[in-house]
Structures are given as structure tokens and as C-alpha cells.
Amino acid sequence: MANIFLMKSIFQTIQDFSVEELNLLDDLITIRTLKKGEFLLSENQVCNEIVFIKKGILRSFFLNHKGDEITNCFAFENEFMASFASFITEQKAEENIQALIDTELQVLNRKALEKLYQSGFNWQETGRKLTELEFVNLHKRMVSFQKLSGSQRYEELYKNHQKYLQLIPLQYLASYLGITPRHLSRIRKTVA
Amino acid sequence: MANIFLMKSIFQTIQDFSVEELNLLDDLITIRTLKKGEFLLSENQVCNEIVFIKKGILRSFFLNHKGDEITNCFAFENEFMASFASFITEQKAEENIQALIDTELQVLNRKALEKLYQSGFNWQETGRKLTELEFVNLHKRMVSFQKLSGSQRYEELYKNHQKYLQLIPLQYLASYLGITPRHLSRIRKTVA
DNA sequence: AGTTTTTTAGGACATTTGTCCAGTAAAAGA
DNA sequence: TCTTTTACTGGACAAATGTCCTAAAAAACT
């Protein structure tokens, strides 16, 4: 069976769960592994699962009108990932989610989540709180696009997540920051 | 007493409420009006209320490092508005919320909302669903910043919300789109 | 209505960022 | 290990966008 101790302890920080409530997870979580480059989700599929990253890195990207890949999100160990927009609306996703390195996931699918929600107040409230946290994260990213330039966003990222930067190909970073690889290369000369 | 029929009917579309559940709102909603230019919220205050716009327009903005006002959101009649990030985290807001024209609001404050949440499953679930919808809206805006240029964002806005564009000073629109007023003026010549 | 303040348009120029490209380096595959 | 593919750097130039500014228009105030 999956070792979901860590995931449980994250839920525990959000809500004062009983052991029984947390143990509901045991039968609902499944395991999945992805090889480097493999896809968890392709655009035009409905996203029906939320994953917890036990090991590895995921990135989410979509295509612009020219067909360039635009990375809109990275997720690392001990973080949740999904196309939340698709999961919520049950519409086809615009994003692809791909493993940047070999990755090990703990999966909670829609039916499992609904079971949790139906099980009572606490899980329902946790769902709201987690959604709120996702909102706040997204809001921060949105603000960084409105008040910072591409190079300032890079500096922020460099300050806060330097350890990750080595792991991520520059082209993915560039589109995540909203600039071209050419320009990121220029910026790197002055910052790093 | 406030006429909150419309607000109720919006909640009704999200959740299958009983009349009694909806009527809980009656004692929890208060009324507030703002004159053009007045502030609903100033930065460095914690946002403790969510408002429903009965009449009028609100905009939310923050300041960048130069002291320029950056508009990050508009809200119109029959929409909800708050500094959601501040409301959620209970940290000081980075935004100011201001009335663009004389505005009439129906206000739900934190305590009132918590009462609703405590009242049972349905309001709890509605809270989650509304948060999800806010997330999806923000996500759309984020995607528009990653995959479109400033002028493309203007064209989208022009197509979808032309009626509002007349009402909003160009300088506010520009920062909302992530460009300078000078540049928006250039864009307008080619589009409009 | 007259006056003052704020907003908008657009010229001239500067800066930032993108495009295209070629050479090199690094990684993946056989 | 060798070969092939993919990723990165940086030059030269082009396009997009910003800065600064002035005059006109619109809005607000008295």
C-alpha cells in the first residue's frame, strides 16, 4: 500500500482531522509512476485527478497560436498538481502535464474526492481551504506578471527557488517567465 | 431591508438551497454606498468583507515600485468583489478597492460568512464552489497574460466587454492590460 | 458659464525584447 | 563509445513598447 503519511500530515495542518477521517484516504489513493517525458494529462482531455508528487517534477504547458509551448506551472516534491481549471469545470484541459524527470505520484481521482466530500463537513471544508490556497498562489503569480518585468521575475525566482533552476531546461523557464529563451540567456549573464 | 433577491438567485444556481437556507442571508447582509472615487478597502488593511455590486463599478489596484497605480481587477453590477487574497489569508491587502462611479453594495462580512459556513453542508459547499469559480476566472486571466500580447488582450476585451470600455478611463485599462497608456492609445488607433 | 484640473492623443526618441541564425555544448540513443 | 539529436549562447538586426513631452479635449469644481 502507498505510504501516504506525508500527504496526511499536510491535510492535518489544514484541518483538525480524526485518525478515522484521515484513514479514509487509504482506500482512495492510487499510485502512478511516469518516466521522464511521459504525460500525465494531454490537452483536450478532461482532468479527472489530482496528484501528489512523491518524487519528481511535473510541468504544465499549453500551446500558443504559433505552436510554441508555454509553460504555465511547475510542481515539485510534496506538492499537489492538476489542471485545476479543467478539474473544476469538467471541460477539456488546455494544458498538457508532463514529467520532467522520472516521477512517482499518489493519485486522488474525482470519484475518490467526491467520496471524501460526502463523508462530512471536515473534508468539505478542507476542499474549500485547499482551493483558497491555490487561488492565493495563482494570485501571487498574476501580481508578479503585472508589477514586474521578465528579468525581475527571473531575479525573484532565482532568490526563492535557486535550487530548482538547475533542474529546469532554460526554454521551459523562459516561457514560464513570459519571455523568449534568447532574452533569458541575456538576463542570466547579468544576474547569475 | 435590502433587496437581495438577485444575490439569492445566484446562490441558487450554484446549490440546491431550501428557502430557509437562503433566508439566513437576510440578517447577515448589510448595505453600503460609495461615492465616485471613495475607497472600499485600502492597502495595509485586512479585507474582512465580500461585496456584491448592486449598482456601480469597482476597481482594485496596487502600486508598483515607481508608485504607479496598477489596476488588477474591475467588477461590475451583479458581481462579487473583495481582495480575496487578503480575505483568505487574513493578511494585509496589497490592493486598494475604489468606486469608479457612485456604487451601491450588499456586504457580507467575515463573521456573517462564517455563520453561513457553520450552518451546514450546503453553504460550506457553496463556499468551495465560489472559490473554484474565482480560481477559474483568475486562471483565464493568467493564461491571457502568458499567451497573448497587450494588443491581443485589448482585442479580446474589446470583443467581450465593449460596453464597459467607454466607462473606464484609459489609464486604468492600460495598466489592467499590462501596458502603458501611450501604447494603448497606439493600439486603439488600429483596432477601434 | 468660467476656471481649473484631469485625461487623452500623438510626435520624437530610447530601451527592451523578439527574430533569425550559426557555432558550440550537452544530452540521449544506439 | 560514437553518433545523432536537442539545448544553449550570443551576434546582428527588427519590431514592440516605454519615456518624455506638448497641445487639445474632456471632466470636475465653483
The enclosing domain of B106 has a CATH number of 2.60.120.10
Residue A49 lies in a domain: yes
Residue B66 has pLDDT above 90, yes or no: no
CA B80 / C1′ D28 distance in Å:
30
Mean pLDDT of A62-80: 94
Report yes or no on B25 lying in a domain. Answer: yes
Mean pLDDT of B64-91: 96
For residue B168, the Cα-to-chain-centroid distance in whole angstroms is 15
Q: Does residue B189 belong to any structural domain of this protein? A: no
Query: Following DSSP, what letter does each residue of B141-188 receive, concatenated?
Result: HHHHHHHS-HHHHHHHHHHHHHHHHTTS-HHHHHHHHTS-HHHHHHHH
Mean pLDDT of B52-59: 97
User: Residues A118-123: what's their mean pLDDT?
Assistant: 92
Q: Which three cell numbers stand for residue B171?
A: 489609464
Cβ within 8 Å, pair A72-B135: no
Number of domains in chain A: 1
CA–C1' B164–D25 (A)? 21
User: Is residue B63 one of the residues assigned to a domain?
Assistant: yes
Instruction: Tell me what the mean pLDDT of segment B49-53 comes to.
Output: 98
* pLDDT confidence bin for A93, thresholds 50/70/90: very high
Contact partners, residue B123, CB within 8 Å, separation at least 6: B15, B21, B24, B116, B117
Is residue B142 situated within a structural domain?
A: no
Amino acid of residue B167:
L
Using a CB-CB cut-off of 8 Å, the residues of chain A touching B141 are 142
Cross-strand bridge partners of residue A192: none
Q: Mean of the pLDDT values across residues B8-12?
A: 97
Q: Is residue B105 part of a domain?
A: yes
Residue B191 pLDDT exceeds 80: no
User: Looking at residues B108-121, what average pLDDT do you find?
Assistant: 96
Which of A129, A146, A152, A153 to substitute to test the interface with B, most B CBs within 10 Å?
A: A146
- Residue B1 pLDDT > 90, yes or no? no
Q: How confident is the model at residue B192 (pLDDT cuts 50, 70, 90)?
A: low
Instruction: Give yes or no for residue B121 having a pLDDT over 80.
Output: yes
The residues near B90 (Cβ < 8 Å, ≥ 6 apart) are: B46
Domain annotation covers residue A145:
no
Nearest to B27 by CA among B95, B93, B119, B103: B119
Residues 6+ apart with CB under 8 A from B108: B25, B28, B29, B49, B50, B51, B52
Residues of chain A with Cβ-Cβ distance to B94 below 8 Å are 143
Q: Give residue A49's domain range.
A: 5-116
pLDDT mean over B87-98 = 98
Q: Nearest to residue A160, comparing CAs of A146, A144, A171, A149?
A: A144
Q: What is the pLDDT of residue B2?
A: 76
Question: Residue A130 CA to chain centroid, in angstroms?
Answer: 13
Q: Which nucleotides of C are covered by protein (CB under 7 A)?
A: 7-12, 16-21, 28
CB atoms within 10 A of CB A76: 16
- Work out the mean pLDDT of chain B and round it to a whole number: 95
Average pLDDT over chain A reads 95
Tell me if A191 is assigned to some domain.
no
Q: What is the percent of chain B where pLDDT is above 90? A: 92
Which tens digits make up the pLDDT trace of A12-70?
999 999 999 999 999 999 999 999 999 999 999 999 999 999 999 999 999 998 889 99
pLDDT in tens, A152-192: 999 999 999 988 898 999 999 999 999 999 999 999 998 76
C-alpha cell at B148: 497573448
User: Which residue's CA shows the smallest distance to C1' of D18?
Assistant: B180
